[in-house]
């Protein structure tokens, strides 16, 4: 029964189980499913140095199986480590260099253990789901044929920087369309786009990478696949078989200069260039922050070995697998190139591998390398691929070290790998592994057979457009079948051929000094552009050609190269779109606005050590597991919807309520009101009021008795008023001065309710007028005025000797409508206002044409408003006309006196008689005895009685108030 160890607890479980019996964790986990092993690495963020040995438990099951498979033949020491629950890899800093050094002698027997383990594990699901791009990866990982060719001692390539004029040699053959169906779309777009730009410059950064690879070759750490390529390059002059299609050096210079002058470059591309010319512009973390990780890795890959060494000291924040690799750089330089290349290829995607191959061809530019020799810093990924010495350690992380043997898989020599690969080549072996093995066994016959098989498979798959599925035969022309050769892109074959030239340092230096041929280049355009930009190491400013290489409008062409679509964020990226302001905004936002950790290409994360790149597996779920494609079995490698949900933070709302003092006061007041409403008040029964108003009856009875007695007694108990009152005196004098036969205008503007009082006031006045022979003209602004006048005259006729006959000595003008306007009209033109010509035809009114024609105007009213209207309109008329006005006398009710009297004081009226007192006074002044005198006693008694009642009532109220106060005081005590 097969047993599988749990990746978490390390306990053994049957293979048939999916979850561990002990810890209930998935036995076959992808790298992204591991819990808490690491967190996302955002773009531009330098990996944190970690000891990946601690995260060995996070290795995917298939890898662990692979290790186990490889460790079956390991030593007892390795079994001790295997017995541990979670076999941590040995510390890279301490053990690895020694192991590497020890294994350097046995390079021939240093196969990739972990890969061998992969071969042995026939039941591994991941193998079965290996995608085409992994197959392509194998193809790119050309087998390191001859380690002695790579291990050229004493050839520091860093002394020979690549100059701007150094371009990769173009291939004479046309590039075949690369259909990497499993590659990310954006990469395919890039490839296709660049393939169309055959005449454009190759970015400098990639040329830099080539140069660095050349350094690797010089230092003897050339990867195997590159060495294989170099063998091919031996057969043909490097100038004839370039790996890429660069432009001429002149064109590249021109283009670069024009780029520098005209167009800005996005930050991330600027960083790429900056890293290329590290001497002039050391890379900044800010720019790296704007750059996706995979591009940062590209930058780092371009760094020279010297840069790598210096960066290893400076970048403490690098992950363990990065730091360890850097620390081990000296030892790795002594490693077999096969190991380096194999490990390097594991970390780099196929297209990057192609770039590496291309970079080897760029060894023609040693001068550029010189410019990069003193670069203070280097980027992450390019440092991995630029020199094999560094890359071997960079790419071989702790987790890649076989836990059983404790040795790095890269320590195994090629022979061991080949042997294992041959043995493991069975029916269950995945295709890409089948392709891999032939690449690693270019020398032996068995390997040739397997290579032929892989070639046959590749031929079959070439119709399905997978040009990246290069096998070892592509690198070794001797073993390659003609059909297989035809499948290899020309530019790749040229790379291989050119790479072989790197075996000899002198030859390389000569090649570097030569100007790269440009006419026969068939390298893809995008590589062209990259190399062109890289060639110009003096240029620090962003190169728009790089942008042009990536964001060329002709997407169709680039699609032909890469076979996939460019992602939206890359397709929309262009020098025009990304202006300085936007970049500034991005920097202000922390540089991670556009490329967050969630946007890190999943395949890059998958290629990285698990300990550093595996996100929080708690967030990943089974629904994120990729079912097909190269990432099959991996979960969380692609940004899922959950990543999109994390984009926006919930808006924080302040829960603090800003309340002003006034609002608080109002709130407190409202609380008081509500509290008072809630209080229960004792119900106070209203004081019962008697249905019989006894007091009112008593007062009325007393008043009636007193007044009645006064009226009936006729005792004149109260003397007549004898005070000299000026306004009354004026009234008497005015009436006495009236000419005989004049017309006195009497305005009856009082209501019937006041007829008793007004009759008392008007009777002595009218009697005197009659005595003066005045014709009475009656007018009223009240409809009942005429009737009241009739009643008054009747009473006067009954009580006096004067005959007041209508039409004879008195005329009634009737009702005067219109209120103030009617009064104003009447004052200005009495005839037109009244209108009835019959009145004015009478004898007494014939001479009346205006108000001034009246002998006197007497206003009889109890209403202050009506009396004031007459006064105001009369005053208004007098101010506007110099007409003489007749005497203006007012006989008013006592209640109107307080309001009308000021008009007398101001001289607006000539005389005033008010109330019963005025009437009695007027009678007294005339020596008459009329109603005034008759009512005077009762009036006086009534006033006295009222005064007494008021005084008594006030006193009673005062006493009640005092008593109530005393009660309150007593209750208070």
Residues 6+ apart with CB under 8 A from 787: 752
Report which DSSP code applies to 118.
Answer: H
Least Å from the CB of residue 760 to other proteins: 6
Nearest to 148, CA basis, from 413, 496, 476: 413
d(CA 307, CA 276): 10
Residue in this structure with the two tokens 């072996």, named with its chain if needed: 429
d(CA 371, CA 973): 107
Q: Whose Cβ is closer to other proteins: residue 446's or residue 699's?
A: 699
> What residue ranges bind other proteins (CB under 8 A)?
693, 696-697, 700, 703-704, 707-708, 711-712, 752-754, 756-757, 759-760, 783-784, 786-787, 814-815, 817-821, 824, 835-836, 838, 862, 868-869, 871-876, 879, 893-898, 902-903, 905-908, 914-917, 931, 934-935, 938-939, 942-943, 946
d(CA 144, CA 121): 24
Least Å from the CB of residue 862 to other proteins: 7
Which tokens in the block code for residue 414?
A: 């090629």
Q: Whose Cβ is closer to other proteins: residue 184's or residue 785's?
A: 785
Nearest to 417, CA basis, from 379, 392, 444: 444
Q: Whose Cβ is closer to other proteins: residue 252's or residue 931's?
A: 931
CB-CB contact of 494 with 243 (8 Å): yes
Q: Whose Cβ is closer to other proteins: residue 752's or residue 808's?
A: 752
d(CA 318, CA 137): 26
Which tokens in the block code for residue 491?
A: 């530019």
d(CA 201, CA 110): 40
Which tokens in the block code for residue 23?
A: 């810890």
Least Å from the CB of residue 902 to other proteins: 6
Least Å from the CB of residue 859 to other proteins: 14
Residue in this structure with the two tokens 């002695």, named with its chain if needed: 148
d(CA 856, CA 887): 5
d(CA 445, CA 450): 9
CA 267 to chain centre: 24
Q: Whose Cβ is closer to other proteins: residue 83's or residue 712's?
A: 712
Q: Whose Cβ is closer to other proteins: residue 422's or residue 917's?
A: 917
Least Å from the CB of residue 696 to other proteins: 6
d(CA 284, CA 272): 11
d(CA 90, CA 54): 9
Least Å from the CB of residue 948 to other proteins: 13
**What three-state secondary structure class fits 666?**
helix
CB-CB contact of 474 with 493 (8 Å): yes
Would you tell me how many other CB atoms lie within 10 Å of the CB of residue 549?
30
Nearest to 31, CA basis, from 620, 644, 428, 432: 620
Q: Whose Cβ is closer to other proteins: residue 60's or residue 915's?
A: 915
d(CA 547, CA 205): 12
CB-CB contact of 499 with 227 (8 Å): yes
CB-CB contact of 35 with 9 (8 Å): no
Nearest to 494, CA basis, from 230, 246, 245, 242: 242
Nearest to 806, CA basis, from 736, 888, 746, 755: 746
CA 445 to chain centre: 66
Report which DSSP code applies to 618.
Answer: T
Q: Whose Cβ is closer to other proteins: residue 743's or residue 862's?
A: 862
Least Å from the CB of residue 680 to other proteins: 29
d(CA 487, CA 465): 10
Q: Whose Cβ is closer to other proteins: residue 905's or residue 962's?
A: 905
Which tokens in the block code for residue 592?
A: 């991670």
Q: Whose Cβ is closer to other proteins: residue 192's or residue 897's?
A: 897
Alpha helices in 125-248 (DSSP H): 125-128, 132-140, 147-150, 185-196, 204-218, 224-234
Give bridge partners of residue 158 from the DSSP assignment.
none
The secondary element (H helix, E strand) that includes residue 12 is strand 12-14
Least Å from the CB of residue 782 to other proteins: 9
Q: Whose Cβ is closer to other proteins: residue 574's or residue 895's?
A: 895
Q: Whose Cβ is closer to other proteins: residue 514's or residue 934's?
A: 934
Q: Whose Cβ is closer to other proteins: residue 702's or residue 956's?
A: 702
Least Å from the CB of residue 708 to other proteins: 6
Residue in this structure with the two tokens 């390097």, named with its chain if needed: 344
Q: Whose Cβ is closer to other proteins: residue 79's or residue 934's?
A: 934
Q: Whose Cβ is closer to other proteins: residue 28's or residue 759's?
A: 759
Least Å from the CB of residue 766 to other proteins: 16
Please report the sign of the dihedral spanned by the C-alpha atoms of residue 597, residue 599, residue 602, residue 607: negative
Q: Whose Cβ is closer to other proteins: residue 1's or residue 798's?
A: 798
Q: Whose Cβ is closer to other proteins: residue 36's or residue 783's?
A: 783
Report which DSSP code applies to 244.
Answer: S
Burial class of residue 949 in the structure, from the number of CB atoms within 10 Å of its CB (0-12 exposed, 13-18 middle, 19+ buried): middle
Least Å from the CB of residue 939 to other proteins: 6
Q: Whose Cβ is closer to other proteins: residue 53's or residue 760's?
A: 760
Burial class of residue 887 in the structure, from the number of CB atoms within 10 Å of its CB (0-12 exposed, 13-18 middle, 19+ buried): buried
Q: Give whole-number Cα distances, 527 to 205, 471, 548, in Å.
A: 10, 21, 12
Name the CA radius of gyration of the chain, rounded. Answer: 60
Least Å from the CB of residue 590 to other proteins: 52
């Amino acid at each position: 029964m097969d047993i599988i160890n749990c990746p978490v607890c390390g306990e053994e479980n049957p293979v048939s189980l999916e979850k561990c019996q002990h810890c209930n964790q998935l036995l076959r986990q992808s790298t992204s499913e591991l819990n808490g092993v690491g967190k996302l690495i955002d773009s531009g963020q330098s990996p944190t140095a970690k000891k990946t040995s601690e995260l060995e438990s996070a290795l995917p099951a298939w890898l662990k199986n692979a290790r186990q498979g490889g460790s079956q033949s390991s030593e007892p020491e390795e079994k001790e480590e295997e017995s541990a629950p979670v076999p941590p890899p040995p510390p890279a800093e301490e053990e690895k260099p020694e192991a590497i050094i020890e294994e350097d002698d046995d390079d021939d027997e240093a196969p990739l253990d972990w890969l061998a383990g992969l071969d042995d594990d026939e039941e591994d699901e991941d193998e079965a789901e290996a995608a085409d791009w992994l197959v392509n990866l194998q193809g790119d990982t050309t087998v390191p044929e001859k380690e002695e060719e790579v291990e050229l001692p004493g050839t520091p390539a860093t002394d020979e920087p690549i100059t701007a004029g150094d371009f990769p040699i173009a291939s004479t053959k046309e590039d075949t369309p690369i259909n990497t169906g499993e590659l990310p779309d954006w990469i395919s777009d890039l490839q296709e786009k660049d393939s169309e730009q055959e005449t454009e410059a190759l970015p400098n950064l990639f040329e830099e990478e080539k140069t660095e690879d050349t350094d690797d070759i010089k230092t003897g750490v050339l990867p195997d696949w590159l060495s294989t390529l170099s063998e091919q390059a031996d057969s043909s002059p490097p100038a004839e078989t370039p790996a890429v299609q660069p432009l001429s050096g002149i064109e590249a210079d021109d283009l670069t200069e024009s780029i520098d002058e005209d167009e800005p470059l996005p930050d991330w591309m600027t960083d790429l260039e900056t890293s290329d010319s590290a001497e002039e512009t050391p890379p900044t973390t800010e720019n790296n922050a704007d750059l996706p990780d995979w591009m940062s890795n590209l930058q780092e890959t371009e760094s020279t070995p010297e840069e790598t060494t210096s960066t290893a000291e400076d970048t403490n924040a690098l992950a363990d697998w990065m730091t360890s690799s850097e620390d081990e750089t000296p030892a790795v330089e002594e490693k077999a190139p096969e190991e380096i290349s194999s490990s390097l290829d594991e970390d780099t995607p196929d297209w990057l591998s192609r770039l590496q191959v291309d970079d080897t061809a760029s060894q023609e530019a040693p001068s550029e390398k010189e410019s990069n020799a003193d670069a203070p810093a280097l980027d992450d990924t390019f440092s991995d691929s630029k020199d094999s010495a560094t890359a071997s350690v960079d790419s071989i992380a702790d987790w890649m070290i076989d836990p059983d043997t404790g040795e790095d898989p890269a320590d195994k020599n090629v022979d061991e790998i080949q042997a294992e690969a041959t043995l493991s080549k069975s029916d269950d072996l995945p295709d890409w592994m089948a392709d891999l093995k032939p690449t690693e066994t270019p020398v032996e016959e068995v390997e040739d057979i397997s290579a032929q098989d892989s070639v046959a498979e590749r031929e079959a798959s070439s119709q399905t457009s997978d040009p990246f599925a290069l096998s070892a035969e592509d690198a070794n022309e001797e073993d390659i079948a003609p059909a297989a050769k035809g499948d290899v892109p020309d530019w790749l074959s040229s790379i291989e051929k050119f790479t072989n030239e790197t075996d000899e340092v002198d030859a390389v230096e000569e090649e570097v000094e030569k100007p790269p041929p440009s006419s026969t280049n068939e390298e893809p355009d995008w590589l062209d552009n990259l190399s062109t930009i890289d060639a110009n190491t003096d240029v620090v400013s962003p190169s728009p050609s790089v942008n042009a290489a990536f964001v060329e409008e002709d997407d169709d062409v680039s699609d032909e190269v890469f076979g996939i679509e460019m992602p939206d964020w890359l397709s929309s990226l262009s020098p025009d779109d990304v202006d300085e302001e936007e970049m500034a905004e991005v920097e202000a936002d922390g540089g991670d606005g556009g490329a967050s950790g969630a946007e890190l290409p999943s395949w890059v994360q998958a290629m990285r050590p698990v300990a550093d790149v595996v996100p929080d597996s708690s967030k990943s779920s089974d629904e994120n597991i990729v079912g097909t494609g190269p990432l099959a079995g991996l979960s969380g490698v692609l940004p899922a919807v959950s990543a999109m949900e994390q984009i926006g933070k919930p808006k924080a709302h302040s829960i603090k309520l800003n309340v002003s003092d006034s609002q608080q006061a109002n709130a407190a007041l409202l609380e008081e009101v509500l509290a008072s409403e809630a209080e229960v008040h004792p119900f106070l029964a209203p004081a019962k009021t008697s249905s019989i108003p006894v007091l009112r009856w008593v007062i009325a009875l007393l008043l009636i008795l007193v007044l009645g007695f006064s009226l009936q007694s006729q005792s004149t108990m109260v003397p007549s008023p004898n005070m000299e009152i000026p306004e009354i005196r004026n009234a008497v004098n005015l009436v006495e001065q009236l000419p005989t036969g004049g017309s006195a205008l009497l305005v009856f503007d009082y209501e019937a309710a006041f007829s008793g009082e007004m009759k008392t006031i008007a009777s002595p006045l009218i009697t005197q007028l009659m005595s003066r022979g005045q014709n009475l003209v009656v007018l009223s602004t009240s409809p009942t005025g005429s009737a009241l006048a009739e009643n008054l005259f009747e009473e006067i006729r009954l009580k006096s000797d004067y005959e007041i006959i209508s039409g004879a000595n008195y005329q009634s003008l009737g009702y005067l409508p219109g209120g103030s306007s009617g009064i104003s009209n009447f004052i200005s033109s009495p005839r037109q206002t009244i209108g009835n010509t019959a009145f004015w035809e009478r004898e007494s009114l014939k001479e009346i044409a205006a108000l001034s024609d009246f002998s006197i105007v007497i206003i009889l009213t109890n209403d202050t408003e009506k009396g004031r209207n007459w006064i105001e309109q009369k005053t208004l008329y007098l101010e506007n006309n110099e007409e003489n006005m007749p005497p203006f006398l007012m006989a008013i009710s006592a209640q109107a006196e307080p309001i009308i009297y000021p008009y007398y004081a101001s001289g607006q009226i000539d005389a005033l008689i008010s109330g019963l007192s005025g009437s009695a006074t007027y009678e007294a002044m005339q020596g008459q005895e009329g109603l005034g005198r008759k009512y005077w006693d009762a009036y006086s008694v009534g006033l006295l009685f009222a005064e007494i009642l008021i005084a008594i009532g006030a006193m009673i109220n005062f006493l009640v108030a005092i008593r109530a106060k005393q009660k309150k005081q007593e209750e208070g005590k």
